[in-house]
């Protein structure tokens, strides 16, 4: 199985420089966070310094397939399956 990697970059500066363009203003000085989502098989690393954020998500496996099928069924029952 091929591993899937997703990288994201964003910043908090818009909220400070143009507060009228956003609904809330927050600014991260320093943040380091790691997370392992066993239900979906993802590992995440989020780093931020002076309002600049970097996040990488790596899919390590299939996760809890039974839970994912139950979730799909619930979404279908609610009409939120995208069809």
Tokens standing for 66?
A: 């039974």
Phi then psi dihedrals of residue 37, to 5 deg: -95, 95
Confidence of residue 65 (pLDDT cuts 50, 70, 90): confident
Note the pLDDT of residue 77: 87
Structure tokens at 62: 């299939």
- What is the Cα–Cα distance from 37 to 59, expressed in whole angstroms? 9
pTM of the prediction? 0.73
Give the tokens for residue 77. 């029952």
Range 44-56 average pLDDT: 97
Q: In what order do the strands lie in the sheet with 5-11?
A: 5-11, 52-59, 42-49, 30-37
Neighbours of 48 (CB within 10 A): 19
């Amino acid at each position: 199985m091929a591993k899937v990697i997703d990288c994201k970059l964003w910043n908090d500066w818009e909220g400070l420089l143009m507060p009228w363009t956003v609904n809330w203003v927050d600014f991260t000085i320093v943040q380091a966070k790691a997370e392992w989502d066993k239900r979906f098989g993802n590992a995440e690393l989020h780093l931020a310094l002076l309002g600049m954020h970097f996040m990488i998500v790596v899919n390590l496996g299939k996760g809890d397939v039974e839970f994912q099928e139950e979730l799909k069924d619930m979404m279908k029952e609610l009409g939120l399956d995208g069809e």
